[in-house]
């Protein structure tokens, strides 16, 4: 790493970013200073996530690297996600690979991952079976696997590109045993080993209404897969399917955990509370007081036939 600081250029570019960079609410860590450190490191040949770039000392760049840096700053100002430029994203204390193949994992989704970790600790089952669907880059599955080392974790996504990235992430974080499959929601697990056996089932589904997807900022709509966001006309199409299909896979006393959109919490909680396949519903609010994670426990005294009927 170069170590002599080039403060003048850094200051000029930082000023440019301070004036023009639009930082989305869903990426609260990407302030102009750390963004510039990420891009500077990248121009110098190092791919760093935001957490790693905070301590990066920008050194002298040769002319070619300076040109690369100016291009990177321009791309970022034009809306290219920082994680797509660096190829790295932080999630649950680990650095993951990121690419346009899958949604860039969001800080807010850590609430789902940590709720699942806490649920697994409370359950206290040895070698618990965990399934994560709509896995995208594999972030929730791998976050759980890293925090609960004895968990047997499987995950799936409809997008083959996402599954490929998730598989590479499994190796990248040192959990190559996490199995990634491709297919529609729980279809990849429709086999006896997963029927009525899953301790914790996690899902961060697409939950934005189709109309709102159209109006999302360019940084999202122009760069991330639409499949990751579009939850149908009211945003709850996939959520409803997951809550209906999950009981067939959860063991009695097993838990479904889902991230949901702001404003969807009360409705989803009410419909889960009415569903006889679940006997307990718990919600988690974010710091703004919005329900963003919902948990429901598979009841012990209902069969799975009704769940199939609802699909
Ligand atoms: C909101 S993203 C979540 C990605 C990742 N789990 C995360 O937390 O960042 C939703 C994911 O669901 C996937 N998806 C959409 N429809 C699906 C379906 N019917 N079956 C499986 N996956 C689906 C998308 O490809 C996308 O990766």
Q: What is the CATH number of the domain that holds 306?
A: 3.40.50.150
Lining ligand 1 with CB less than 6 A are 102-103, 105, 109, 133-136, 139-140, 157-159, 162, 184-185, 204-206, 227-228, 238
- N-terminal to C-terminal alpha carbon distance within the chain: 56
List pLDDT tens digits, range 190-243. Answer: 999 999 999 999 999 999 999 898 889 888 988 999 999 999 999 999 999 999
2 within a domain of the structure (yes/no): no
Same domain, 111 and 80: no
19 alpha carbon to ligand 1 midpoint, in Å? Answer: 34
187 alpha carbon to ligand 1 midpoint, in Å? Answer: 14
Q: How many whole angstroms from its chain centre is CA 118?
A: 17
186 within a domain of the structure (yes/no): yes
Strand order in the sheet with 198-203: 179-182, 152-157, 129-133, 198-203, 250-259, 291-298, 278-285
Per-residue model confidence (pLDDT) at position 4: 46
List pLDDT tens digits, range 233-281. Answer: 999 999 999 999 999 999 999 999 999 999 999 999 999 999 999 999 9
Q: Are strands 152-157 and 198-203 parallel, antiparallel or unpaired?
A: unpaired
Same domain, 43 and 162: no
Same domain, 222 and 176: yes
Contact yes or no for 166/136 (Cβ under 8 A): yes
262 within a domain of the structure (yes/no): yes
Q: How far lies 190's CA from each of 156, 163, 187, 197, 245, in Å?
A: 12, 18, 5, 12, 11
Closest-CA residue, ligand 1 atom 26, reads 228
pTM over 0.85: yes
153 alpha carbon to ligand 1 midpoint, in Å? Answer: 17
Same domain, 207 and 302: yes
140 alpha carbon to ligand 1 midpoint, in Å? Answer: 11
Tell me the residue range of the domain where 174 lies. 107-310
Same domain, 118 and 258: yes
Same domain, 117 and 264: yes
Relative to the CA of 102, which ligand 1 atom is closest? 27
45 within a domain of the structure (yes/no): yes
Q: Which of 53, 86, 119 is the last residue of a domain?
A: 86
Same domain, 15 and 118: no
Per-residue model confidence (pLDDT) at position 303: 53
Secondary structure (3-state) at 81 = coil
Closest-CA residue, ligand 1 atom 24, reads 228
Q: Which of 34, 55, 86 is the last residue of a domain?
A: 86
Closest-CA residue, ligand 1 atom 19, reads 184
Per-residue model confidence (pLDDT) at position 7: 46
77 within a domain of the structure (yes/no): yes
91 within a domain of the structure (yes/no): no
Same domain, 75 and 224: no
Relative to the CA of 187, which ligand 1 atom is closest? 20
98 within a domain of the structure (yes/no): no
301 alpha carbon to ligand 1 midpoint, in Å? Answer: 31
Tokens 């880059």 belong to 137
304 alpha carbon to ligand 1 midpoint, in Å? Answer: 24
144 within a domain of the structure (yes/no): yes
Same domain, 144 and 19: no
Per-residue model confidence (pLDDT) at position 214: 82
Same domain, 65 and 157: no
Positions of the chain with pLDDT under 50: 1-7, 304-311
Same domain, 135 and 284: yes
Total domain count for the chain? 2
Same domain, 300 and 160: yes
Q: How far lies 240's CA from each of 18, 91, 246, 260, 270, in Å?
A: 42, 27, 10, 11, 12
Relative to the CA of 184, which ligand 1 atom is closest? 20
277 alpha carbon to ligand 1 midpoint, in Å? Answer: 24
Closest-CA residue, ligand 1 atom 9, reads 105
């Amino acid at each position: 790493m170069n170590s002599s600081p080039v403060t003048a250029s850094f200051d000029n570019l930082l000023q440019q970013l301070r004036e023009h960079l639009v930082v989305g609410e869903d990426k609260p860590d990407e302030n102009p200073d750390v963004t510039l450190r990420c891009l500077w490191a990248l121009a110098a040949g190092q791919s760093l996530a935001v957490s790693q770039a905070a301590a990066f000392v920008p050194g002298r760049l040769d002319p070619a690297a300076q040109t690369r840096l100016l291009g990177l700053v321009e791309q970022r100002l034009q809306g290219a996600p920082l994680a797509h430029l660096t190829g790295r994203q932080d999630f649950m204390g680990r650095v993951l690979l990121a690419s346009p193949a899958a949604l860039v994992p969001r800080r807010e989704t850590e609430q789902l991952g940590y709720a699942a970790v806490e649920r697994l600790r409370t359950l206290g089952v040895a070698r618990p079976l965990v399934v994560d669907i709509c896995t995208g880059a594999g972030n929730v599955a791998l976050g759980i696997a890293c925090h609960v080392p004895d968990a047997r974790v499987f995950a799936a996504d409809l997008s083959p590109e996402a599954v490929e990235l998730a598989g590479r992430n499994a190796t990248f974080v040192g959990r190559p045993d996490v199995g990634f499959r491709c297919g529609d929601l729980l279809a990849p697990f429709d086999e006896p080993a997963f029927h009525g056996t899953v301790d914790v089932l996690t899902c961060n589904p697409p939950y934005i209404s189709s109309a709102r997807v159209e109006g999302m900022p360019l940084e999202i709509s122009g760069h991330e897969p639409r499949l990751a966001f579009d939850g149908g006309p009211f945003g709850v199409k996939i959520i409803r399917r997951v809550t209906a299909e999950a009981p067939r896979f959860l063991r009695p006393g097993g838990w479904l955990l889902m991230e949901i959109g702001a404003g969807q919490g009360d409705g989803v909680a009410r419909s889960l509370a009415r569903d006889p396949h679940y006997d307990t519903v718990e919600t988690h609010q974010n710091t703004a007081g919005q329900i963003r994670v919902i948990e429901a426990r598979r009841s012990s005294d209902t069969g799975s036939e009704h769940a199939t009927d609802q699909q």
